[in-house]
Amino acid sequence: MMQPLFDLRGRVVLLTGATGGLGVAIAQAMAAHGATLLLSDHNAADCEALASLLRAHGHHADTLPCDLSQQDDVRQLAASALQHHGQIDVLVCNAGIQGPAGPLDAVSPQQWNTVMDINLRSAATLSALLMPAMAECGGGSVILMSSIAGLRGNKAIGLYGLSKAALAQLARNLAVEWGPRNVRVNAIAPGLIRTPLAASLLADQTFMTRRMAQTPLRRPGEPHEIAGVAVMLASAAGAFITGQTLVVDGGTTISDGN
């Protein structure tokens, strides 16, 4: 009785940042639930390697490499995605970069533009270009990858946090705009997840001792635990969820540190 809730057969998913730690987990989970995947990342060889792996396991996957820092490339990605299968049912904007560390007043204009172009503007552009087609097909789901860095102040990666906070607000705005046409838009805000992006933090024993003391589950998250939430939001299981930022952080942001 429950399996159809998470069934993605017949759905076409465009996933950006597909070859990173979270991207691979999301691709594998979506494929396991029957989705047809269009994988996008800046490295074409990495995209093809992931697609080949998925195909070897009987899944449907193709590649659409893209440099999300270039708006012309982003627009071409949207057009190519629609041409590939004639529809996009789910858009997962997972691509992102951390950008510079340090105070905001030390960020250069170029760094500001690069982080915002990749993390925020590409997601806004892809959503704007693909949601009308979703609506024409009866509806769809957009999933934006935010972060708990966008939910609280941060002195180390403030620009990253700003971009992730903006993604959560983008989800709310688009949910209001597109809900009447049955297009749902949500964000996921992961905490510390065991991915290559977090490798330096995971290796820092002082940081880990402090962070785990602040996290009720006392461990970092695993990529598949984010992927599972993405599958839920893409499927019938999430059909009445829109405009939300789902925090997946083991309780870090609700803890008093005891």
- For the chain of 258 residues, list the mean pLDDT of each consecutive stretch of 10: 82 97 97 98 97 98 97 97 96 95 92 96 98 97 97 91 97 98 98 92 94 96 98 97 98 85
pLDDT value at residue 72: 97
Q: Which of 23, 93, 160, 185 is catalytic?
A: 160
Nearest to 247 by CA among 200, 193, 210, 197: 193
Q: Is the dihedral of CA 117, 119, 122, 128 positive or negative?
A: negative
pLDDT value at residue 258: 64
> Per the CATH hierarchy, to which homologous superfamily does domain 12-245 belong?
NAD(P)-binding Rossmann-like Domain (3.40.50.720)
Decide if 8 contacts 59 (C-beta within 8 A): no
pLDDT value at residue 156: 87
191 labelled catalytic: no
- Domain edges within the chain: 12-245
